[in-house]
């Protein structure tokens, strides 16, 4: 009988606690090598009703079933059924059944008795499409028992082309909004970072080689709408690097001399075939999507038995594959996300006898960190790092892509909106079950009608339904006006201004170069002023909404100064607009619009 590690026991407790008061489908995230099958076995053992464990490949059905039965004791023997055509067994009447989704969806009549818990391994494969095999099985089980609990387990909760597979990351009464759109899995209730497993010695350390002999340059490629790179684009890059592949494989063979098992991740089928032709024929094999199941099983079994040393694959062995002796991972393909990158390396991190490290050779310039969290968006550029940005409104710590200087200090980040949420409480401070998203936007398109901030891609104001004019169009139209002053802002000065009746105002002066004939004295130097009274509550609110919001550079820190003198003393926290658009009002220019760098497309 196996004993749970502390984090495995914690994940089981999180599931039990959640389902006591919730019926929404939930997810727990455990990295490759964390022992999901043990968690599944413990949940099945503790369940009071019937349990169905569902997955997509027979290997996982067999593995999870074996772990469950290994929990047997003399006074409590455990026996689970298997329902998998690939394993030649169709047993659906046991208290606990381990099944493949393909076999179940073809035999729904065999599952007419109700289950209280459905556990889905590798649940990132559950699509939104209600006509998919997974969703058909789930719908069938929910029809029989509307109260069935659905739990998913995965190491990769981020699905290419779709995004996060769940909507909320739960952290007590608050948490993180992962998707603005509803997902089948509502909540992630437990997540373990891979760094914990490495630090605690539950995984084999990875040793990264930073400077391989040659590499492919995939940096200019952009993923298609489905989130994956086009095979033709990948083949073109490889074709343009004809001399690279032979030298890369030569280095891999050299590095593999004292290694037990080598997995090579190729970019395309043609690429994989070329790689295979350069490896020792008697010690190498290739698995691709079209490889027949019988042949795939034979190759994988040979690899696990160490009858072959080099296993080449194209996007088919990133999940659901367990060969602990693997101690060299060679990546010859671009990876579209942090999760996929970690999943690939995870193939070599399982503990095994006579294994002290896993060597990782990256020939594709994947600028991901094995330890960094999944951000959920592609890197804006190769030098970006995952950074933590607290929300000045709700205090939630967001994870965005950003840029750091040589001292590790934040230069800028690319986050748009705070990802935090909080539970809505009733009059007695009890949760209503509803959640409210934090509305704070770090980057926004501001509505000139009501002052509300909107997503920078929005066309209609979410608050007043006014049409939001595209900044590029706004700039083009202003340049065509004869009575408008349009200039590129080069400087912004703050000072305290005294009115004739002795009251203090904030005076902000914008200056820059203008090609407009409307500039004062027909001079190319443009100068425009604006004045802010900060006496009443309404005036302070207008200043906060109309000036502070768009100008504040470090939006992760709240700006609470509300007197002209204090604002002047903190003027370093405000950023310059890129362009100023002003119109004549009597003898003076009045600012009508400001356009900031992050609002424009390619300026």
Q: What pLDDT score was predicted for residue 473?
A: 77
Average pLDDT of the residues in 526-540: 92
Q: What is the mean pLDDT of the chain?
A: 86
Domain residue extents for the chain: 6-192, 203-362, 385-437, 446-599
Q: What is the pTM of this model?
A: 0.74
Which of 181-195, 202-216, 408-422 has maximum average pLDDT? 181-195
Average pLDDT of the residues in 390-403: 86
CATH superfamily ID and name for 6-192 = P-loop containing nucleotide triphosphate hydrolases (3.40.50.300)
CA 291/CA 286 separation, integer angstroms: 9
Question: In sequence order, what are the residues at sequence separation of 6 or more whose Cβ sits closer than 8 angstroms to the Cβ of residue 417?
Answer: 438, 439, 440, 441, 442, 455
pLDDT band of 1, cuts 50, 70, 90? low
pLDDT 10s digits, 536-583: 999 998 898 889 988 888 776 788 888 999 999 999 999 999 898 888
Q: What pLDDT score was predicted for residue 556?
A: 66
Q: How many Å is the maximal CA-CA distance in the chain?
A: 99
Within this chain, domains 6-192 and 203-362 share the same CATH topology: yes
pLDDT band of 602, cuts 50, 70, 90? very low
Q: What pLDDT score was predicted for residue 437?
A: 87
pLDDT 10s digits, 431-472: 777 888 887 888 777 776 776 777 777 888 878 888 777 777
pLDDT at 78 over 60: yes
For residue 257, give the nearest of 327, 197, 305, 210 by alpha carbon: 327
Tell me which of 177-181, 189-193, 425-429, 494-498 is least confident.
Answer: 425-429
Fold of 203-362: Rossmann fold (3.40.50)
Mark out the alpha helices in 211-346 (DSSP H runs): 231-239, 244-255, 269-278, 293-304, 338-346
Q: What pLDDT score was predicted for residue 515?
A: 57
pLDDT band of 603, cuts 50, 70, 90? very low
Q: What pLDDT score was predicted for residue 148?
A: 95
CA 256/CA 265 separation, integer angstroms: 15
- Detail the DSSP E strand segments found in 318-443: 326-331, 358-362, 385-390, 397-404, 410-413, 420-425, 431-437
How far is the first Cα of the chain from the last one, in angstroms, to the nearest whole number? 64
pLDDT band of 210, cuts 50, 70, 90? low
pLDDT 10s digits, 226-265: 567 788 888 888 888 888 899 999 999 999 999 999 999 9
């Amino acid at each position: 009988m196996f004993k749970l590690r502390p984090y495995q026991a914690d994940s089981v407790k999180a599931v039990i606690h959640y389902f006591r008061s919730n019926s929404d489908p939930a997810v727990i995230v455990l990295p490759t090598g964390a022992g999901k099958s043990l968690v599944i076995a413990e949940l099945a053992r503790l369940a009071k009703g019937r349990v169905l464990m569902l997955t997509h490949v027979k290997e996982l059905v067999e593995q999870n079933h074996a772990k469950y039965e290994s929990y047997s004791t003399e006074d409590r023997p455990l026996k689970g059924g298997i329902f998998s055509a690939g394993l030649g067994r169709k047993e659906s009447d046991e208290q606990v059944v381990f099944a493949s989704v393909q076999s179940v969806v073809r035999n729904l009549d065999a599952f007419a008795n109700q289950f209280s818990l459905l556990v889905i391994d590798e649940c990132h494969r559950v699509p939104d499409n209600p006509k998919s095999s997974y969703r058909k099985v789930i719908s069938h089980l929910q029809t029989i028992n509307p109260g069935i609990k659905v739990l998913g387990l995965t190491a990769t909760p981020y699905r290419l082309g779709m995004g996060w597979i769940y909507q909320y990351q739960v952290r007590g009464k608050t948490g993180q909004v992962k998707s603005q759109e509803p997902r089948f899995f509502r909540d992630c209730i437990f997540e373990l970072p891979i760094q914990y497993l490495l630090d605690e010695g539950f995984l084999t350390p990875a040793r990264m080689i930073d400077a391989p002999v040659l590499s492919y340059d995939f940096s200019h490629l952009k993923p298609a709408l489905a989130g994956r790179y086009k095979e033709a684009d990948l083949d073109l890059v490889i074709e343009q690097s004809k001399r690279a592949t032979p030298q890369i494989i030569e280095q891999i063979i050299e590095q593999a001399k004292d290694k037990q098992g080598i997995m090579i991740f190729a970019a395309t089928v043609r690429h994989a075939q070329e790689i295979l032709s350069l490896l020792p024929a008697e010690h190498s094999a290739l698995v691709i999507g079209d490889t027949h199941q019988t042949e795939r099983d034979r190759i994988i079994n040979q690899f696990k038995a160490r009858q072959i040393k080099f296993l080449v694959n194209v996007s088919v062995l990133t999940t659901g594959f367990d060969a602990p002796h693997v101690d060299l991972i060679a990546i010859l393909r671009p990876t579209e996300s942090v999760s996929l990158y970690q999943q690939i390396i995870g193939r070599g991190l399982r503990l095994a006898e006579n294994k002290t490290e896993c060597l990782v050779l990256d020939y594709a310039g994947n600028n991901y960190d094995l330890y960094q969290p999944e951000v959920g968006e592609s890197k804006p550029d190769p030098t970006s790092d995952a950074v933590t940005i607290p929300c000045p409104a709700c205090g939630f710590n967001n994870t965005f892509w950003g840029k750091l200087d040589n001292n590790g200090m934040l230069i800028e980040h690319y986050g748009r909106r705070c990802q935090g949420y909080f539970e809505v409480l009733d009059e007695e401070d009890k949760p209503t079950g509803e959640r409210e998203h934090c509305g704070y936007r770090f980057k926004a398109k501001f509505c000139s009608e009501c002052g509300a901030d909107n997503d920078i891609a929005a066309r209609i104001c979410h608050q007043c339904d006014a049409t939001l004019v595209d900044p590029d169009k706004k700039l083009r139209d202003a340049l065509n006006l004869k009575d408008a002053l349009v200039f590129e802002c080069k400087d912004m000065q703050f000072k305290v201004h005294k009115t004739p009746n002795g009251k203090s105002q904030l005076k902000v002066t914008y200056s820059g170069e203008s090609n407009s004939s409307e500039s004062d004295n027909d001079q190319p130097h443009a100068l425009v002023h604006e004045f802010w009274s900060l006496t009443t509550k309404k005036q302070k609110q207008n200043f906060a909404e109309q000036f502070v919001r768009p100008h504040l550079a470090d939006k992760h820190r709240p700006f609470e100064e509300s007197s002209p003198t204090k604002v002047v003393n903190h003027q370093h926290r405000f950023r310059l607009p890129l362009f100023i658009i002003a119109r004549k009002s009597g003898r003076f220019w009045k600012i009508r619009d400001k356009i900031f760098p992050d609002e424009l497309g390619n300026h």
